[in-house]
Copies of this chain bind each other. A is one copy, B any other.
Amino acid sequence: MSETAERLKRNNIRPSYARIRIMEYLMEHPVHPTVEDIYQNLVKEIPTLSKTTVYNTLDLFVRHNLARVVTIEENETRYDADTTNHGHFKCETCGSVYDFTINDDGLETKGIGDFAVTEKHVYFKGICKKCLYSKE
């Protein structure tokens, strides 16, 4: 049984072929793909795959903390197999989404003192190095 299958099992997820391949795709393509990306690429090798399965499976992973939803642009839900705390940078020129490490120890937050925080999301927008240098 594959590494990925084992991991799914350990997380109480029945390791069906679709689930294994979707998880592998997520891990092998850490570019924060959309449902559409994942579907279009996997349907080549799994012709019977349906988009609903991709939605359901990603949902399942998120509920089991094996993946995260990355919401940056409206109407562009992306997924990330890296569930550790990190930030995202979206280049408005080339559209790439980069990861960056954050240390929020120094982040002061006034106004939500007694709130229970379960998720922290940080994303920046701008122009990436590559696009900056290739300009004019």
Contacts and interface: CB of A to CB of B under 8 A. Distances in A.
A101 B111 contact: yes
A132 B115 CA distance: 8
Interface string A100-133: 1111111111111011111111111111110010
Contacts of A101: 108-111
Given A108-B106, A110-B101, A111-B101, A125 B129 contact: no
A42 interface: no
B111 A98 contact: yes
A108 B102 contact: yes
Report the copy number of this chain in the oligomer: 2
A103 to B, nearest CB: 4
A12 to B, nearest CB: 22
A40 to B, nearest CB: 19
A47 to B, nearest CB: 28
8 contacts: A92-B118, A100-B111, A103-B107, A106-B108, A114-B129, A117-B124, A118-B126, A120-B122
